[in-house]
Copies of this chain bind each other. A is one copy, B any other.
Amino acid sequence: MSQPTIKTNPGRYFEDFHPGLILNHATPRTLTDGDAALTLALYGARHALFSSAPFAAACGLAPAPLDPLLVFHTVFGKTVPDISLNAVANLGYAEGRFLASVSAGDTITSTSEVLGVKETSNGKTGVVYVRTTGVNQHGAPVLSYVRWVLVRKRDAAAPAPADSAPKTAPFVPASDLVLPTGLDFSGYDFGLAGAPHAFEDYVVGEKIDHVDGMVVEEAEAQMATRLYQNTAKVHFNQFERAKDPSGRRLVYGGVVISTARGLSFNGLENAGLILGINAGRHVNPYFAGATLFAWSQVLDAQPIPGRSDVGALRLRLVATKDRPCHDFPDKDDAGAYPAEVVLDLDYWAAVPRRGA
């Protein structure tokens, strides 16, 4: 037989990325009611906007929107084969904005542009910065965010490229946030939503212990990660992971984010609609079986120009494993986190105002 071509995807190495490179990611994905039900089953989310079509319609959103984090995980999952198959670590997120609602029946594709690269001092790896955009079936962007990952070099002897690392904003300015078309919280039913706390009730600096704890099982972590078509080996290949010092499959960080968000319902019942992601770090690995806890801090509270029905809260969500959060476990002055802290996420959410 003639020599066949290589059929499997070896993934890109650091040398394969250069500023301006456009990556059109594979596997468009139609999200459905099935994905919404699995999202509930996996995270126990209770935000009324994503649980009840009539509630969403009463807020001006018909058809009902899907949980923005489902959109985030879907958009993110598509980038893995092109960006992070040979990644050592996911280092950070910035400048994330949700730009349009996504509803059951909508189809998502993802594209990334390499913003810059910077070799690390050891010469074996480099940081790749990309802006990823999720687009719906009409070509309209639904999500945009910057992410940077540490990627292996194919050849350590290859010369370092010029440092083209971009400067990212420390957080999304409130004035850049985009409300879903049609959103109207003027008749928001706080009772049905589960708590009376309005935008005005949250105080900058306030910390909230979300009290509840929840385990993620291996099966749950795998089902969620597959649902997003995120095929990173560390989440599934136990045979290979047995050689890692942990000996364990690593749970996809997005599962930790969504579980912590589910827990944060207890105290942030009306902050379901995420508008932006300012920053995020997976501080320590999370392995299935540990109990996740979470606490939040209100970092900022901004009105939205021309709107009396809704404001934007900037929230910090910290998740821990096997450690309740009544004492708000946090990094120390040197920026070092306790071993139990697994997530530090900074985001904006739309919260109804109490009204006139």
* Nearest residue, chain B, Cβ from A265: B231
CB atoms of B4 and A206 under 8 A apart? yes
Chain B residues within 8 Å of A244, by CB = none
Other-chain residue from B3, B203, B213, B269 in contact with A239 (beta carbon distance below 8 A) = B213
Given the known interface contacts A219-B218, A238-B291, A239-B324, the answer about A203 and B4 at a Cβ–Cβ threshold of 8 Å is yes
Chain B residues within 8 Å of A36, by CB = 32, 34
Chain B residues within 8 Å of A52, by CB = 27-30, 107
Other-chain residue from B34, B48, B105, B205 in contact with A1 (beta carbon distance below 8 A) = B205
Q: Does any Cβ of B come within 8 Å of A91's Cβ?
A: no
CB atoms of B202 and A239 under 8 A apart? no
Given the known interface contacts A35-B37, A238-B215, the answer about A223 and B51 at a Cβ–Cβ threshold of 8 Å is no
CB atoms of B203 and A40 under 8 A apart? no
Q: Does any Cβ of B come within 8 Å of A255's Cβ?
A: no
CB atoms of A192 and B51 under 8 A apart? no
Residue total for A at the interface (Cβ-Cβ under 8 A)? 91
CB atoms of B2 and A203 under 8 A apart? yes
Given the known interface contacts A37-B38, A52-B30, A219-B220, the answer about A43 and B4 at a Cβ–Cβ threshold of 8 Å is no
* Nearest residue, chain B, Cβ from A9: B266
Chain B residues within 8 Å of A38, by CB = 34, 37-38, 41
Given the known interface contacts A192-B28, A214-B236, A240-B213, the answer about A41 and B107 at a Cβ–Cβ threshold of 8 Å is no
- CB of A264 to closest CB in B, whole Å: 10
- Mark A24-58 against chain B: 1 for CB-CB distance below 8 A, else 0: 10111110111111101111101010011111000
Given the known interface contacts A37-B38, A201-B4, the answer about A237 and B213 at a Cβ–Cβ threshold of 8 Å is yes
In the bound complex, CA of A64 to CA of B31 (Å)? 13
Other-chain residue from B37, B81, B104, B239 in contact with A291 (beta carbon distance below 8 A) = B239
CB atoms of B28 and A48 under 8 A apart? yes
- CB of A249 to closest CB in B, whole Å: 7
In the bound complex, CA of A46 to CA of B291 (Å)? 31
In the bound complex, CA of A233 to CA of B212 (Å)? 7
* Nearest residue, chain B, Cβ from A269: B26
Chain B residues within 8 Å of A205, by CB = 1
Q: Which of A7, A191, A233 has its CB near the most chain B CB atoms (within 10 A)?
A: A7
Given the known interface contacts A109-B192, A195-B7, the answer about A37 and B40 at a Cβ–Cβ threshold of 8 Å is no
Q: Does any Cβ of B come within 8 Å of A88's Cβ?
A: no
Please name 13 pairs of A and B residues whose Cβ atoms are closer than 8 Å in the assembled complex, sorted by A. A1-B204, A4-B203, A8-B267, A29-B52, A32-B34, A40-B227, A40-B229, A213-B240, A217-B217, A220-B222, A231-B266, A239-B293, A239-B324
Interface residues of A (CB under 8 A from B): 1-5, 7-9, 24, 26-30, 32-38, 40-44, 46, 48, 51-55, 64, 81, 104-105, 107, 109, 137, 191-195, 197, 201-206, 208-215, 217-220, 222-227, 229, 231, 233, 236-240, 249, 262, 266-269, 289-291, 293, 322-324
Give me the 9 closest cross-chain CB pairs, A-B, nearest first: A34-B37, A26-B194, A44-B226, A28-B52, A239-B291, A213-B237, A219-B219, A32-B33, A217-B219
